[in-house]
Chain A
């Protein structure tokens, strides 16, 4: 438990330094929080961003910050990891990512509607994805806390994982991540309407 925590925290540090996982105390947004004027600026940048990418979705403020910084083009070809997101309408969205990228924040960067309500802290299941069979076993085993949250996700499958816990490695090149189709209504008596 302690060993894996040490690995997680050093990994976290690496990812924070490379700005993939937000470290709130160093992020200017944290300091901006109390400054209304600057946050208004951020909002304007946000609107501009959505104009630039038609039909792209609101990104979290963290996502916005990252999309202004650097591009997703890798410096070295061996750093490139090709990822395909399959969104909830079945549309395939190929993305060129880098080793070390976090699947949730990568999705945000590319306007894919993968929610991350708890911001990668293993306190929700909104970033639930299905992982392509060929790559599922190449992922690190989920920690107990991830399994606990996955248990809450609707339409859980054998190849379910939480996107915020997947960090890209070279072996994951070609990985396909499918967003579960949770478009159904919930009835108090448990009735699920027939699709029409």
Chain B
């Protein structure tokens, strides 16, 4: 006894518009990973620039890549790339592994 077979269940007069769910009421549903990655990227790129550590700059590039895809935030991406470039301009020697 399904209504579908008998009559058209569609009701054009009962249409409700889509309301995007308010994310403020459900902060737990948002994934915080991209925000952390963004922040981490900023910190590592500053470290890489100030302390002239190449590996810091590379990690910053990775972090900004991960967060870039989610947030489309270019600032940390550009900062990390500039950190890498500056490290190599100042010290063109290749990076030595920690072992």
A and B associate:
no
